[in-house]
Structure 1
Amino acid sequence: MARLQLKSIRKSFDGNDILKGISIDVKDGEFLSLVGESGCGKSTLLRIISGLEVPDSGEILIDDRPVTSEAPKARNIAMVFQDYALYPHMTVAENMAMPLIMARLPLHARLPLAGRFSPAARRARPDISDKVRAVAAQLRIEHLMERRPGQLSGGQRQRVALGRALVRDPGIFLMDEPLSNLDAKLRVEVRKEITELHAASGLTFVYVTHDQTEAMTMSDRVALLQKGTLLQVGAPGQLYADPANIEVARFIGSPEINFLPVEAASDMMRLGNQHLPLRLSGRTGGFTFGLRPEAIHPAGFAAAPASADTIRLSFRRTLVEDLGHELLIHGAFAALPETDVRVRLQKSHGRPLDLPESFDTLIAPEDLLVFDEFGKRIQQKPLPVRQGVVA
């Protein structure tokens, strides 16, 4: 286990800023996911942590020890690559043993013939074999030890790559989109195994992915990057429920959050051509409401909020996607017909719902996220207005 600190990491390639001053403190034993769209700089940051790239400026510390200038082998870090990087001519056992052979044996003892007569090799190889077998048992791949990578499935190759990294007893475990080459069903399986591996090992994990589902389900914390900038770091639920800005709210959550333009006066807010019984204390002008699809409830539905402050908006559907356990309804509010809105509705015991083309929806004011004209989150919630008095 190890604590990892990144301080103001910057990196450019050919005059293009890839990382723009990234600072993150990864706790000892934490699972941190770096998430963002392709090209946001997350893989570059991972390579800088491992020592495969050198930052233009900034500092990397492991357990308070500066390692920015140290070689990769001096950092006690293991890395699993997207393409697994297994040696095709070696067996699973040989692939897994290779990091220990490179670390523990002198050059002459690694050679096939000379190694047979090397006292160092004779002393070290039993311990290496024991370590490989122990890790293979942990990953449930003991039956694959004599196979070569070409004889393995994608999931099996992934486990071998994990095993080759684990045998080194690293303090920090880096993963660069390790599930991207797997099919959907296998991704779920291996995702669970990696989560269990983290819990059992207690190692510090830094995991790179563009898939928010992986980041949200596996991580203690998520760091969201965009165009080389760190937008927010926090627990998965925090990024979902309390995004710092519009970009975080847009990226986190599936289906994507709805954004609704509103105008605020001193005593009322307006959505399109409809006035809302809400106000923002001391604020007027243009704002944006963020509204999660599951926070919009058809009137009369069992989960709909029942309160005097509930907002009622007429909705017209244009498309219904039946996902089995839920419906994803596309359409628009009558007050704002040009803005696409998505409604996520759980089915009741899997039964289909007979929704008319137009129906009223109910929204609780506390479910509204408010963003200013620059896209920054306003923590203040819209206040209900009752009989001209602020509630």
Structure 2
Amino acid sequence: MTTVHHAPAGGVAEHAAPAPAAPAPAGPADASTPGPDHAAIGAASGLLGQYRAAADEAFFASPTRTLLTAGVHARVPQDGRPLPVRVAATLAEARRAGVERPLVVGAVAFDHDSRVELAVPERVRRAGALRDDPLIALPAPPAELIDWQVRPIPEPAAYGTGVAAVVERLRGGELSKVVLARTLELSADRPLDLPAILQRLGRRDPGGYTFAVPAGGGRTLIGASPELLLSRRGTAVLANPLAGSVPRSADLGEDVRRAAALLESPKDLHEHAVVVDAIRAALAPYCRTLDVPARPTVVRTAAMWHLATSITGELADPAVSALELATALHPTPAVCGTPTAVARRVIGEVEPFDRGLYTGMVGWGDADGDGEWVVTIRCAEADERTLRVYAGAGVVDRSRPEDELAETSAKFRTFLDAAGVSR
């Protein structure tokens, strides 16, 4: 039986991703636990600087660790078995083949039954968190002056029309929330320097989740997400949903006013509560205890304020992996809507593109079931000269098209600033 505790919460946090509240039992160091030698000054920022955007290389940084992997021992197959079963089998085979403490790293699509880009690497280098490395404060390489060609899909006016149409459906009772996204296709006049873009992403928000992983077909999924879907260490579970957002302001007084207004916004608090309730319901069957704060906090990134809730729990069955829990949660109303099946159908009808890996999950999981899986937002799929950047907004019956357009424009800025796109 799950015991659910409602703890009071409030205030401002730097980022939306605290470490799990309950420590894992003492034991030998494994793939999920950076050892003391990995906390050396410059270790985490050094791994960030050594990423080279090779087809078999992946980088992932979180508030607890930094990983740089190279080579591919095995890829997770795409077949009819559930994703956690496929991953567990791939890790077990790697362990039998002599891989010490194997893990998978990579990304899973929004429709996780349709596409996965997960692999067991041949080599894994580990360090502590970027935010704990003093050298992360050093400046990143400046953005190049590139002649960008930008094509919005859909056009801003068409996106607003789609939001208005969905609001009418919401008011008719068909569903209570849907997340509508749009994308920008950017073409450069020269090859892109993805390692430099990753440096700018990681150094701008070192307390978040920075990643660059192979996306198949010679493409790279690269971004800096503020949102943890789920982490597991031993029996300790953490989910940190974000829903309800407002752009930051360069004026300090206005910036504080926006954060305070977000904490009192009926529209945003409702949107956030829908997500928290869905995650509570999904985690409860797996957890012996579950702590859910009664009110969200506000957390900040370089570009946005977000409402956030840190949900912590203790697993009833330690055999349940982080990935199994993450797939039970995904997609949350924060990236899809509610009811989920209806929201998926509306997204398919209104959005004029395939989301692919956007709003899926990216991260790592090991053979012991530990892992960190992050919501794939503030990201782009990149190849040699092109970027496809994504942003979405939660639409409820109080939404206004101009507000959702402004929100997606602000969310684009995380990646556009890192890429040196001035529009």
TM-score using structure 1 length:
0.26
Structure having greater relative contact order (Cα 8 Å, sep ≥ 6): 2
